[in-house]
Amino acid sequence: MRTDRLVFDRRQALAGVRLSLGGGASLDLSGGLEFGRRIFEARDANRSGVPKAALANVGVLAARLSWRL
């Protein structure tokens, strides 16, 4: 019985800022690059010699609103 898993691997380089909005609220803004992305099927992520599909590098933008009580 095979117990292979679908593995998605990626690396990220991100930078961001946190803005305090007052009243316990803050806004986090970040951006960067995802690179070295690949997907493959294997028993574990360290397996070598299995076919891998390389995915294109992509830019990443994120915003998160937080509230602390």
The single-letter code of the amino acid at 63 is A
pTM score, whole prediction = 0.64
Give the pLDDT mean for 34-38.
93
What φ, ψ does residue 9 adopt, rounded to 5°? Answer: -120, 140
Mean pLDDT of the chain: 89
In this structure, are residues 13 and 33 in contact, taking their beta carbons and an 8 Å threshold?
Answer: yes
pLDDT tens-digit map of 39-51 = 888 776 666 777 7
pLDDT-based confidence at residue 2 (cuts at 50, 70, 90)? low
The percent of residues above 70 in pLDDT, for the chain, comes to 91
The Cα–Cα gap between 69 and 52 comes to: 46
Strand ranges (DSSP E) for the chain? 5-22, 25-42, 52-54, 58-67
Beta bridge partner(s), residue 51: none
> Would you list the domain boundaries of the chain?
5-67
